[in-house]
Amino acid sequence: MVTEPHSARPDDTVPDHSGRQAGGAIDMLDICQGFLNHGEPLPVLDHVNLSASPGSFVSLVGPSGSGKSTLLRLAAGLDRPLTGRVYVDGRRVRRPDPSRGLVFQDPTLLPWLTVAQNIGLGPQLQGRADDPEQRRRVDEMIDLVGLQEFRDALPSELSGGMAQRASLARALVTRPEILLLDEPLGKLDALTRSSLQTEMARLWEHQGFTALMVTHDVEEALMLSDRVVVFSSRPARVLEEVAVDLPRPRAQDDPRFRELRRHILDLLS
């Protein structure tokens, strides 16, 4: 559980949700957000409510510019909403925390560090690089993402898919309870993207984190998610939360998969 170093005020603790356990629960309550655009207010999020139970995989889909990435920044603690509250495990989110990992569309690996050094960056920044357990954890993550033969390679020597695997491993090496994914596969070719979708599903099942992912790919959302939250255009509101009632692993030629895909595309049209 994330504990903040201040005394809790009455509005710091969200009411308990029935059956919910600590360990990666996200609650975003009545969120409004906006920015200034050439001096004029630009509303982005319009009274959005969103939750994710521990260990669930939730995807956000909607038109470009509808505020999906803004929601991830709020969940990460990088920004604060104009109104509304964000909670993780019942505690108000006010700042970034190692329990919440963030993966972007671009791998953002440091070009002068090897794969192993990039993956171990989190423990190093926490002053734990020499901890034998952390070194074992780095080795474990390198193995999990299949980069054993490239552990000493520089980012410039990696393909796009390999670099994104390293980025995922770096985000997971500190065992975050929540992984926030901002179009992590958006710039990859179709074959690599499909391969990494399978890889992400395996990592999620193996590690047990809560995943909140922004994507423009409806098929990707359905392949990976327990729920797909569909947003309107800006200022965004939730149009519908679609439960993905399909067994894993999933197949795009499944009739129910095609039915859910049509339904989500109809909502977006």
Question: Is residue 4's pLDDT more than 60?
Answer: no
Tell me the pLDDT band of 19, cut-offs 50, 70 and 90: very low
In order of start, what are the domains of the chain with their CATH numbers?
20-99+181-253 (3.40.50.300), 110-175 (no CATH)
Question: Is residue 13's pLDDT more than 60?
Answer: no
**Which residue in 62, 114, 79 sits closest to 234, CA to CA?**
62
Q: In this predicted structure, what is the pLDDT of residue 115?
A: 96
Question: Is residue 122's pLDDT more than 70?
Answer: yes
Dump pLDDT digits (tens) for 207-240.
899 999 999 999 999 999 999 999 999 999 999 9
Provide the token pair at 156. 């410039």
Question: Is residue 163's pLDDT more than 90?
Answer: yes
Dump pLDDT digits (tens) for 42-93.
899 999 999 999 999 999 999 988 899 999 999 999 999 999 999 999 999 9
CA atoms 19, 68, 244, 23: torsion sign: negative
**Which residue in 161, 244, 168, 163 sits closest to 203, CA to CA?**
168
From first CA to last CA, the distance across the chain in angstroms is 40
Bridge partners of 60?
A: 214, 229
Q: In this predicted structure, what is the pLDDT of residue 8?
A: 41
Q: In this predicted structure, what is the pLDDT of residue 258?
A: 98
Question: Is residue 182's pLDDT more than 70?
Answer: yes
Please tell me the number of Cα atoms within 13 Å of 30 on its side-chain side: 4
Mean per-residue pLDDT for 187-205?
Answer: 89
